[in-house]
Amino acid sequence: MIKQQLVHAEFSGCVVTTSRAQLTPPGQRRANAYTAESGNRPISQTSPKDECDGQWSCSGVIVDRNLGVVICQGSIFFPFLKKTGNGLAASDHPILSADDFHPDLSIRVECPLEPKINTKIGTGICNEVLGHRPELENVPVSTPQSERMQVQAQLLMVLPCPEFQNAFSRLFRKENGWVFSSEEEKTEYGEFQKDLAYLHWFAVLHLQSPLTKTPHTMAIMDSTRLVKGSTVFACGSPFGSFYPDIFLNTISKGVLSNTAGDRNAVLLTDARCLPGSEGGGIYLFEQGVLHLVGIIVAPLCWKTNEWVGLTLACSISHIIENIIKVPHKAGVAVKSKLENLQLGNNVLANLQRGPGPAEHLMKAAVLVDSGQAWGSGALLNRKVVLTCRHVVRDLSKVLVKIQRPRVASGQHHTYKRFQTVTGRVVFSTSESSPYDIAVVELDEDLPGVFEPVLASGYSAGEDVLIVGFGAFGESCGPSVTSGVLSAVISVGNVPVMLQTSCAVHGGSSGGPLFSARSGELLGIVASNTRDNTTGATYPHLNFSIPMTVLQTAIQRYRQSGELRSFGELNKAGHKVQNVWRLQRSPEKVFRSKL
């Protein structure tokens, strides 16, 4: 069912290209079918002498194919703005209409042709579209990527989302070293593309040619119904208009890692996206329906030169709300079109959702604050936290912060503030031990704690989740990232290291690693990987200490309060030490990023 529903995401995605009219290649100024054989290739994006003489593109979402409504990121329009003022970044700045941009601005939207629906299976694509051919025997061929069309579009408005901008400015402070474009992008793209002041602007377009006569409106989920850890899908076109033959409407999968701001205006997901996916959609499958939940704002981000590996998006329901507020500010023509579009009718605010699959797991994650830095920890019970030695440093006491359970506030969901408890460091492994572990005992019990079940075995390839406070600390609570257990590294048939593909960032150390299927606690996150030659970090290549290594010590500590069994972690042999040094011989010791 999910695969069938994802077809709607693919056929709602598009590429939006802006340029001056004289730069539009002949034969592409009117709607036309675009095939691989036609020879009509998009212009490669290069950095022009004057930005308004160039061509800019991003992904977009067709929220209504029947009415021809497209929403995309607004940054590709700013190179064509007649004049720029210092007030554009202000959250209360009025909307920009087509009159605010150069009159020769050309907008081209490239999208798939309308799918043919097989009425027998409801949302499936019929065999004619799948291209089943006798000469291929039983091997179906997917919809040819060349079956696309290009349509000219009219700009209705470019408007800001102040709720997103307010949360974004608090969460991603420049002094913390946040960057949303690589050095290559800064060279290739113009100033408007790399300026953070334009990330919260979005464009509303109206296609000049209808895409379908059949009513087709994308279901939109109100952001207040979003739950961390929910499976989401991202649909965007990497590299924009550079090569849509291959990259148009690429699907990736992940989880909703975190939310922030008023009614979850800012969304973060570990679904992997690339430059050009800006403006694409974030989707969530619920109750048999695929819902649009967000618009991609930035596919890549770095913090203090460390790649974070998360995609930043804006809640689509907030964008719709701001569009609905526009008519009293807009001209008569735009007001009339907006009223005809009837945006907002498809926003499902009353959708009932139960607890997310990772919601109870997040209760086991705490923030461990050593004063100079923070890390994460895993609650073993009401009074004991397991974390990493390098998180607590050489301190005897640390602060442990836990976010209290979610409560209802009116029709919206929110979290109580953090509860802070002092913790005593009752054990830390020695610096020479390969196992980077510390045990913290809390001065007071924490009620309502989820006590995880400790894993007794591992299966490479199983789905896993990591919960922790990496990158954001307590700014928006614990983050959830998904992946698989990539490898189980053993010494003498005993697991001594777990490798996963989850995104792990600075501040994730000490966080719990869970099995997505059983919810068992598999391990404690110790590090990700850093290339000492280039300085690059790899968040999707990380390592955890298996719970089976700690299980005996934890059981004895729970039963009698005895800590001596943890001391066995300091007696690990050279083979285990070499594994955690990521090398076969001990001559050179490479220190991980975390």
Q: What is the tens place of the pLDDT at every residue in 203-254?
A: 999 998 777 766 667 889 999 989 999 999 999 999 998 888 899 999 999 9
pLDDT > 70? residue 474: yes
Distances (CA, A) of 283 to 87, 95, 298: 33, 27, 16
CA neighbours closer than 13 Å in the CB half-sphere of residue 164 = 31
Given pLDDT bands bounded at 50, 70 and 90, which one contains residue 89?
A: very low
Q: How confident is the model at residue 42 (pLDDT cuts 50, 70, 90)?
A: very low
210 or 459, higher pLDDT: 459
Instruction: Name the least confident of 75-89, 136-150, 172-186, 517-531.
Output: 136-150
How confident is residue 594, by pLDDT bands cut at 50, 70 and 90?
A: very low
Structure-token pair, residue 304: 């203090």
Average pLDDT of the residues of the chain = 81
Q: Tell me, what's the pLDDT at 530?
A: 82
Tens-digit pLDDT profile for residues 369-395: 998 889 999 999 999 999 999 999 989
* Cβ neighbours for 174, distance < 8 A, ≥ 6 positions apart: 196
- For range 298-327, the mean pLDDT: 89
DSSP per-residue letters across 68-134: TEEEEESGGGGGGBS---GGGG-TTPPPB-GGGB-TTEEEEEEEEPPPPB-TTTSSSBPHHHHT--G
Which pLDDT score is estimated for 523?
A: 97
Is residue 284 within 8 Å of 273, Cβ to Cβ?
no
Q: Taking the CB of residue 200, how many other CB atoms lie within 10 A of it?
A: 28
SS3 60: strand
What average pLDDT does the segment 501-516 reach?
95
What average pLDDT does range 98-115 have in this prediction?
Answer: 89
SS3 for 539? Answer: strand
Residue with tokens 């907030």: 318
Task: Please state, as a whole number, how many other Cβ atoms lie within 10 Å of the Cβ of residue 576.
Answer: 21
Model pTM score: 0.85
Q: What letter represents residue 470's amino acid?
A: G
Residue 512 vs residue 531, higher pLDDT = 512
Element holding 48 (H helix, E strand): none
Instruction: Name which of 274, 320, 550 is nearest 433 in CA terms.
Output: 550
The pLDDT confidence band at residue 569, using thresholds 50, 70 and 90, is: very high
- 3-7, 131-135, 273-277: which has the minimum mean pLDDT? 131-135
Task: Quote the tokens at residue 401.
Answer: 């912060």
**Rounded Cα gap, residues 482 and 371, in angstroms:** 29
- Distance CA(292)–CA(272), nearest Å, equals 17
pLDDT reading at 409 higher than 50 = no
Report angle CA 515, 520, 524 to the nearest 5 degrees: 80
Residue 158 has pLDDT above 60, yes or no: yes
User: What pLDDT score was predicted for residue 133?
Assistant: 37
Query: What is the model's pLDDT at position 186?
Result: 57
The stretch 124-153 carries a mean pLDDT of: 52
The more confident residue out of 52 and 127 is: 52
Q: Which residues belong to the active site?
A: 390, 436, 509
pLDDT tens for each residue of 315-360: 999 999 898 887 655 565 666 666 666 666 666 666 666 666 788 8
Place of tokens 């700009």: 155
Q: Residue 581's pLDDT is what?
A: 85
Q: Contact at 8 Å (CB) between 392 and 428?
A: yes
Kindly report the three-state secondary structure assignment for every residue of 295-331.
EEEECCCEECCEECCCEEEEEHHHHHHHHHCCCCCCC
In this prediction, residue 174 carries a pLDDT of 80
